Chain A
């Protein structure tokens, strides 16, 4: 368990992490999400005692990192795959880590086997590809068979097979009752592995919720309509009391609408439709909206108490005839959408 309370770090005037409070619990994969520069790595470095916090506190199973006599057996971390002396062989690199924590040397060969680097164990780390370096870093994290594992962007630079392997590894580690804390800037990646989500932007906490809850709140399904007879369809939808949003390029969107009802309505009014499809905005979009808002928060503080994602509720309730430019908060163009998955 990792407990973070009011954690802050500023470099000069600029706050990198600003009053973060959350807890990473055992038995689940907790995704740590945020755009580049949001403060994910800085937070992880403070958890590991590499950076001294400007304020606040981090505890690992109730203790500060520097109080851990043999930290590798409590928490294993992969922060930077390249944090290795290139002139040292993979085996010697792991061996010196093992020795510093009193971990038996046979364990080095075990973890090399686990990550699939046995064949290159005596090769210098300098010649490793990024994928192999990531594996070596993960081997280092697993070395002490720790209760807590922390990975910073572990799938970066991995081939599809490697990504698949990492996902499986993280899930199996959590299933054994370990605490797994993994950062990413890819929502889609987190959706596949994480059970719990912590989202930060500009060093502040934006969301701390379960993955299921996040999906429920943020996956917006809507009906997309393309028609050459826009005005007549708008009138018809209006008359039927269906809220519709124009998203440019002649596209109309009805939030949560039923395609059957809209299709029948169009048929009744003899309006030609070129497209009538159910779409789902991706979690990636939801994440982008969430983090984009954190930028707005900085520029002009909004009234307190407004929950994140409020813009979308506002948009749903927007008057149907809001032709022309949509409200400032909503994107001016069609959000990139993906067809409903599965």
Chain B
């Protein structure tokens, strides 16, 4: 069943249409003409991202995963009464939820650009705004801010809950710096990972392909490293481990899987570099290709 066809308004045309027909050769609209800038594109992209259900779904599941898994691990560790070994602090328990949740951010990132190609909406978008770089910038900014905000709120909630749960269980009290890394740092990293996904979606123009590739990028290095048992490949194996996205994410919780490799804020700079390169590539391709 299709939605019922609405009756046609054959009645008098609205005022703007009936307005004094100017003489040939031109028609002048009563609508004020403004010179558009990035702000207009941002408003447009904000309307777009909030008006589709996939945004609500992916972000909803993300919050559910991050907060749910975070609270669950908190409860389990608190119940078992086990001491968190040596240097660990309560914040590090947030890692698992964020790692799983990153898949949602990747999905939303790819969908933000690629779904426009799937539906054909991109032709309408590019017609409305011929400055294609502006479209990409607006999409990237709006998405980044949404992803960052949602991740920040979730990670702060989880961090507060976990430190409260594990208070007195022997876990070391996290320092201010650790707090900052486990909330703001992680949120920046996840938002940048989503941004790279958005740019990959723009390059590939295919939702399923983009999501698959990005999940592969997250998981493959770890899985491949697991099977590199040979001694001759030891170095490659270590590098794959250290620079895999889960391990780099762990650096923010100081629960890295290895002791060497990226440390401190390194993962963020690495992801920032990747995002910048992807942005330049996506921009160039967008300008060059036909829509």
Tell whether A and B belong to one assembly.
yes
Say whether B47 contacts A92, CB under 8 Å. yes
Interface majority SS (helix, strand, loop, mixed), chain B: loop
How many Å from the CB of A105 to the closest CB on chain B? 10
- Known contacts A85-B119, A118-B6: A102-B34 contact under CB 8 Å: yes
Say whether B291 contacts A50, CB under 8 Å. yes
Say whether A145 contacts B3, CB under 8 Å. no
Q: Among A62-70, A250-258, A312-320, which stretch is in contact with chain B?
A: A62-70
Residues of chain B with a CB closer than 8 A to A146's CB:
29
- Known contacts A51-B290, A84-B120, A176-B27: A100-B8 contact under CB 8 Å: no
Say whether B21 contacts A83, CB under 8 Å. no
How many Å from the CB of A92 to the closest CB on chain B? 4
CA separation between A178 and B25, bound complex, in Å? 8
CA separation between A142 and B221, bound complex, in Å? 51
Say whether A177 contacts B40, CB under 8 Å. no
Residues of chain A with a CB closer than 8 A to B43's CB:
99-100
CA separation between A28 and B257, bound complex, in Å? 71
Say whether B26 contacts A147, CB under 8 Å. yes
CA separation between A116 and B8, bound complex, in Å? 5
Say whether A1 contacts B25, CB under 8 Å. yes
B residues 67-112 touching A (CB-CB < 8 Å):
none
CA separation between A10 and B115, bound complex, in Å? 27
Say whether B29 contacts A175, CB under 8 Å. no
Say whether B6 contacts A116, CB under 8 Å. yes
B51 within 8 A of A: yes
A276 within 8 A of B: no
Which of chain B's residues has its CB closest to A67's CB? B130
Interchain Cβ contacts within 8 Å, total number: 172
Mask of B183-206 contacts with A, CB within 8 angstroms, 1/0: 000000000000000000000000
Our pick among B22, B41, B123 for the contact of A83 (Cβ within 8 Å) is B123
Which of chain A's residues has its CB closest to B135's CB? A100
Chain B contributes a number of interface residues (CB within 8 A of A) equal to 56
Say whether A144 contacts B31, CB under 8 Å. yes
Say whether B22 contacts A71, CB under 8 Å. no
CA separation between A84 and B48, bound complex, in Å? 11
Which of chain A's residues has its CB closest to B20's CB? A176
Q: Among B9-17, B146-154, B239-247, which stretch is in contact with chain A?
A: B9-17
Say whether B5 contacts A132, CB under 8 Å. yes
A89 within 8 A of B: yes
B213 within 8 A of A: no
Say whether B40 contacts A96, CB under 8 Å. no
Residues of chain A with a CB closer than 8 A to B2's CB:
127-129
Mask of A110-150 contacts with B, CB within 8 angstroms, 1/0: 10011011111001000111011000000010001111000
A: contact size bracket:
35 or more
Say whether B123 contacts A69, CB under 8 Å. no
Say whether B24 contacts A88, CB under 8 Å. no
- Which residue among B14, B27, B43, B51 has the maximum number of chain A CB atoms within 10 Å of its CB? B27
Say whether A85 contacts B116, CB under 8 Å. yes
Q: Among A72-80, A292-300, A333-341, which stretch is in contact with chain B?
A: A72-80
Which of chain A's residues has its CB closest to B45's CB? A96
CA separation between A330 and B57, bound complex, in Å? 63
How many Å from the CB of B105 to the closest CB on chain A? 19
- Known contacts A66-B131, A71-B128: A50-B31 contact under CB 8 Å: no
How many Å from the CB of A267 to the closest CB on chain B? 53
Residues of chain B with a CB closer than 8 A to A95's CB:
47, 51
Residues of chain B with a CB closer than 8 A to A117's CB:
6
Residues of chain A with a CB closer than 8 A to B41's CB:
100
Our pick among B16, B26, B54, B121 for the contact of A145 (Cβ within 8 Å) is B16
Q: Which residues of A contact B (CB under 8 A)?
A: 1, 25-27, 45, 48-52, 65-66, 68-73, 77, 79-80, 82-89, 92, 95-97, 99-104, 107, 110, 113-114, 116-120, 123, 127-129, 131-132, 140, 144-147, 159, 161-162, 165, 172, 175-178
Return 13 A-B CB contacts under 8 Å, by A number. A85-B52, A96-B44, A100-B129, A103-B31, A107-B31, A114-B14, A129-B3, A145-B31, A146-B29, A147-B29, A172-B13, A172-B17, A176-B27
Closest 3 CB pairs of A and B: A100-B44, A83-B120, A145-B29
